[in-house]
Amino acid sequence: MKKNKIAQIIPVTRLKRDLHLFDYIVPDDLINRLKRGQLVEIPFRNKQAKGIIFDLVKDSDLKKSNLKSIDKIVEALPFLNNWQLKLIKFLADYYFVSMSVWAKMIVPEIPKRKRKSSGKILADVDFLPIPSLNKNIAQYLKPVKPVFLRYFNFENKIKVYLDLIDEMVSKNKQVVIIVPQISDIKDIYKYLLEYKNQVLIFLNDLPKNKYWQEWLKIKKGEAKVIIGTRSAIFAPFKNLGAIIIDQEESENHKQEEPNPRYNAKTVALKIKELINCKLFFVSAAPSLNSLYNIQQKKWQYFEIDKLKAQPEITIIDKQEEFRKGNYSIFSEELLNKVEYNLKRAKKIFLFLNRKGFATLATCQDCGEIAICPHCNLPLTLHSNKKIVCHHCGFLKDLFLFCPKCKGSNIKLTGTGTEKVEIEIKKMFPTSHVLKLDLETPLNDKDLNNSDIIIGTCYAFDQIDWQLINLIGVINADTLFYLPDFRAMEKTFNLLVKLTIYLSDNQKQLLIQTMTPDNYVFKSIKKLDYKSFYINEIKERQNFNYPPISKLIRLIYQNFEFNAGQKEIEQIYHDLIDKVDNKKISISSPLAAYTQQVRGRWRWQIIIKIIDKEINLDFLNNLPENVIIDVEPVNLL
């Protein structure tokens, strides 16, 4: 019988997207010792490198005289299981990234001196008692398909997590909980006293020794509960029973930079398929993609609990304020409610989204905002007085008169936290006002002593919401009118979260907007997800946006503007020549929303794939300096 004398190896390094496997001769003394998934040392490009054995075969398509030999086995036990090798192959094809890049990310670097690393990441945690919730989780474990869990109360969610952990650990299985950001880890960990010695925090930026030790604990099955951000989905699970994607709607589950630009939710779905574990997507404000999968019966839906009470929600029409001669940031009603709460020593949170710095052309008479006729996305102002669609390239002159009402009161909008802080201090000079955003250091003393807190989404995790009696959304349209097809969804979900934070019919949520008749605000009044979904999915269908299509964003960068413009045009024409399919649409190249990053000019091409089964191998032939972002979370 002919022995397998050729090893197909993935070098553990960063290579071009079309370089995956390299053939090596297996020396006679290693023939009976090599296994798939082992880590070996190989000569690679005139130096020594590590590699993972992807497969062992009898022959190579290359001449054996051109092949090099494996030098040695680094670790006798396989570093990666068969399912992990299959995962790497799938991800390389799906994201147009070399298998070597995935291996580089997944395979840990073995420390030269394996010293025991001391100190815990969460050493000073005050553990909390287990919340009580009378819920039978057997129904959540029954479905074969992925399960979506909707919750309104954080502690009820935690109780379900604990019950799922109990179930899995009793069967000697592991559970991994993927959270959007590091600050979310402690919120879950502090309830895990019972499993304190079996819980492991797994982050890719741990010190090298620490990372190696934690990696081994997971691989040996010593760690039963693994918590981490998106990269923890690649942990070397020994007997994985369940994956929990916490706050599944968060954009942080998608890696935007650097390569590989993966989504932990996509990886989790593939792992479930490969090893048949349970998969739970959990959220208080479900993403539209999740709602679509539920509606299409691909996922099973459960509600953990119900919203105990809804605050009083008021939608303020800013156009009406203008007609009354009030051109202030604050409506009359918002100021009255702030004053009312201050007199009763109740705290107020004034929210605005810092991302809403897009310069938009808005008619102050009728509320009309310049919208692209082809993409239904807002047009943004450029320095040449042109308003441009950053999705399809549609361009027109900035109008002097409103195309709808013919009024001349055109304003370029955009408000920041500093401006709100200045204005509110003028109105209430004796009140303690705190600005809380990413650029402002947090001081607990200031937070506790403040009467009015002005903040962005950054403030959400810092505030004790039980103390807040009024939330005023300064301008709900700032996020709403970003040139991003998910803008409506993000606005709605953000307002849902604010509603849940208050969760008391004695409290108040006041939303200021130029477009009070928009379905987002009509739906939020009743917290009506069904109505929102019906309206939003109709818009996605009209313009072939996800989840109806699959979106791929090509990003090209060049230090030279003219040379870059010429090359991206050539790339576009090459793509058009290769693609003759009505199920794929390719936008002409246009300047990215953020036109310059670190001195490089940026252009983008948006590809919509209507038939998701279409072969996209032609993208592998793109120049290496073109970034391929599969299923981008935004187009900014």
Q: Supply the pLDDT for residue 1.
A: 42
Among the residue ranges 34-43, 355-364, 519-528, the one predicted with the least confidence is 355-364
More confident residue, 448 or 9: 9
Per the structure block, which two tokens stand in for 577? 């020549």
Q: Supply the pLDDT for residue 356.
A: 34
Cα separation, 379 vs 390, whole angstroms: 8
Q: Supply the pLDDT for residue 62.
A: 86
Q: Supply the pLDDT for residue 521.
A: 94
Q: Supply the pLDDT for residue 362.
A: 76
Task: Name the band, by pLDDT with cuts 50, 70 and 90, for residue 375.
Answer: low
Task: Name the band, by pLDDT with cuts 50, 70 and 90, for residue 593.
Answer: confident
Write the CB contacts of 525 (distance below 8 Å, at least 6 apart in sequence): 313, 315
Q: Supply the pLDDT for residue 384.
A: 59
Cα separation, 217 vs 171, whole angstroms: 18
Three-state secondary structure call for residue 93: helix
Q: Which domains does the chain have, with CATH numbers?
A: 6-106 (3.40.1440.60), 138-303 (3.40.50.300), 312-358+414-541 (3.40.50.300), 550-630 (3.30.70)
Concatenate the DSSP letters of all residues of 166-205 into one string: HHHHHTT-EEEEE-SSTHHHHHHHTT-GGGGGGEEE--TT
Q: Supply the pLDDT for residue 548.
A: 93
pTM over 0.85: yes
**53 neighbors 85 (Cβ within 8 angstroms):** no
Name the nearest CA neighbour of 170 among 143, 195, 139.
Answer: 195
Name the nearest CA neighbour of 411 among 398, 429, 424, 422.
Answer: 398
Beta strands in 474-599 (DSSP E): 508-513, 550-558, 584-586, 590-597
Considering the chain, what is the average pLDDT of its residues? 89
CA 292, 530, 366, 355: dihedral to nearest 10 degrees?
-50
Residue 348 has pLDDT above 70, yes or no: yes
**39 neighbors 50 (Cβ within 8 angstroms):** yes
Residue 426 has pLDDT above 60, yes or no: yes
Query: How big is the chain, counted in residues?
Result: 636
Three-state secondary structure call for residue 389: coil
Q: Supply the pLDDT for residue 630.
A: 96
Cα separation, 192 vs 199, whole angstroms: 8
Residue 159 has pLDDT above 60, yes or no: yes
Q: What percent of the chain has pLDDT over 90?
A: 62
**238 neighbors 218 (Cβ within 8 angstroms):** yes
Q: What percent of the chain has pLDDT over 70?
A: 92
Cα separation, 489 vs 291, whole angstroms: 11
**604 neighbors 556 (Cβ within 8 angstroms):** yes
Query: Across residues 581-590, what is the average pLDDT?
Result: 88
Cα separation, 560 vs 179, whole angstroms: 40
**610 neighbors 544 (Cβ within 8 angstroms):** yes
Three-state secondary structure call for residue 519: helix
**452 neighbors 434 (Cβ within 8 angstroms):** yes
Q: Supply the pLDDT for residue 613.
A: 83
Residue 419 has pLDDT above 80, yes or no: no
Q: Supply the pLDDT for residue 413.
A: 60
Alpha-helical regions (H) of 276-366: 288-295, 318-323, 332-343
Residue 376, classified by CB atoms within 10 Å of its CB into exposed (0-12), middle (13-18) or buried (19+), is middle
Task: Name the band, by pLDDT with cuts 50, 70 and 90, for residue 383.
Answer: low
Instruction: Render pLDDT for 226-262 as a digit per residue (tens, 0 to 9).
Output: 999 999 999 999 999 999 999 999 999 999 888 899 9
For residue 53, how far is the Cα from the chain centroid? 32
Cα separation, 431 vs 421, whole angstroms: 12
